[in-house]
């Protein structure tokens, strides 16, 4: 199951409905927006796990146990704490606000939705990405942190979510995500 599938199908689409309700979008519009935003966020996850510091930071964040709430209880997406958490995640995944704005602008082009709406959605999408990742087996275990030097445990957990074409490798999928992101530059 890809990361997007995990988000859209969680709680029978409750997170999609919650975000749509908050932003005045229909379920199809919200799903389309997430489809445009999540690949850039997944590429950010992949970039993070390529370095020891980034991998350690991701393992630490997943081990905190707080991100799963966004998948388990989509009502937790309401309010400033979810947005603040999402903005913090965006800082780690995308680096800066300019990149976040660019991701939203590209998603607006892909979906026909307003870039302003997508900028509002982006932090919530980031919380859902981390929530979906935290739900992977081993993502919250102390053993995952102990194995963090090699990254093998956490990568084994992330591969099913990032492997969109289900061929057992995330390299081609992340390359494709980055290619789509750069292509629209």
* DSSP label at residue 147: T
Domain limits for position 155: 3-183
Distance CA 6, CA 14 (A): 12
> Would the pLDDT of 183 be above 80?
no
Structure tokens at 94: 């995308």
In terms of pLDDT, which residue wins out, 62 or 180?
A: 62
Residues 78, 18: contact at Cβ < 8 Å? yes
* Cβ pair 99, 44 in contact under 8 A: no
Grouping H, G, I as helix, E, B as strand and the rest as coil, residue 96 is coil
Q: What is the largest CA-CA distance in the chain?
A: 44
Position 135 pLDDT exceeds 90? no
Please enumerate in sequence order all residues whose Cβ is within 8 A of that of 140, keeping only pairs 6 or more positions apart, or say none.
62, 63, 65, 68, 134
Work out the average pLDDT over 132-146.
58
pTM summary value: 0.76
- What pLDDT digit, counting tens, does each position of 85-119 carry? 999 999 988 888 999 999 999 999 999 999 999 99
Query: What integer is the mean pLDDT of 31-43?
Result: 93
Q: Taking residues 12-28, what's their average pLDDT?
A: 94
Query: How many domains are there within the chain?
Result: 1
């Amino acid at each position: 199951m890809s990361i997007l599938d995990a988000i859209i199908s969680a709680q029978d689409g409750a997170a999609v409905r919650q975000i749509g309700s908050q932003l005045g979008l229909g379920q199809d519009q919200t799903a389309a927006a997430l489809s445009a935003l999540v690949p850039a966020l997944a590429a950010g996850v992949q970039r993070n796990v390529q370095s020891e510091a980034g991998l350690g930071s991701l393992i630490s964040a997943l081990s905190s146990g707080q991100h799963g709430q966004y998948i388990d209880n989509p009502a937790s997406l309401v309010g400033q704490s979810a947005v603040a958490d999402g903005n913090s995640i965006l800082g780690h995944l995308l680096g800066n606000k300019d990149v976040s704005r660019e991701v939203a602008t590209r998603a607006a082009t892909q979906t026909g939705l307003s870039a302003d709406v997508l900028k509002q959605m982006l932090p919530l999408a980031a919380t859902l990405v981390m929530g979906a990742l935290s739900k992977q087996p081993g993502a919250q275990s102390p053993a995952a942190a102990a194995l963090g030097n090699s990254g093998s445990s956490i990568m084994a957990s992330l591969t099913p979510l990032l492997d969109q074409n289900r061929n057992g490798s995330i390299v081609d999928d992340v390359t494709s995500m980055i290619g789509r992101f750069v292509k629209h530059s």
